[in-house]
């Protein structure tokens, strides 16, 4: 089987993250249920939640000849942020996409799928 990275993207059209503790616990539980299902099926390879882009925007590194530039943030011109990722095993893109059907990130944002080498 091939490995695919699922990138959880959230933008202005996405619902805001829950503020109430019980709602946040419920959302985390949904992610946990999906992850445990992928583990049980032997498909889950790796995954993590990223830090909050508003408090830790990350860095972008770019090389121009002999110059190496480091700037804050992943992409200043984008309105979407990547909130986390998972790596799963699937036969092809169609199967990888079917694994996302009940994922909370697909409901609240979107999931970009890319095959890994």
| Residue 39 lies in domain | 2-115
CATH code for position 110 = 3.30.70.1060
pTM for the full predicted model: 0.82
Q: How many domains does the chain have?
A: 1
Give every residue of the chain whose pLDDT is below 50, as ranges: none
Per-residue pLDDT of 70-89, as tens digits, reads: 887 765 556 778 889 999 99
Taking the C-alpha atoms of residue 12 and residue 36, their distance in angstroms, rounded to an integer, is 29
Residue (of 80, 112, 89, 79) closest to 4 by Cα position:
89
Taking the C-alpha atoms of residue 39 and residue 46, their distance in angstroms, rounded to an integer, is 10
């Amino acid at each position: 089987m091939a490995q695919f990275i699922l990138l959880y993207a959230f933008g202005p059209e996405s619902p805001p993250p829950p503020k109430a503790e019980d709602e946040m616990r419920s959302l985390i539980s949904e992610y946990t249920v999906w992850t445990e299902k992928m583990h049980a099926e032997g498909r889950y390879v790796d995954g993590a939640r990223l830090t909050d882009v508003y408090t830790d925007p990350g860095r972008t590194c770019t090389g121009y000849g002999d110059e190496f530039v480091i700037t804050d943030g992943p992409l200043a011109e984008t309105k979407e942020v990547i909130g986390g990722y998972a790596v799963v095993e699937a036969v092809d893109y169609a199967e990888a996409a079917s694994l996302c059907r009940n994922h909370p990130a697909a409901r609240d944002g979107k999931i970009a799928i890319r095959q890994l080498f």
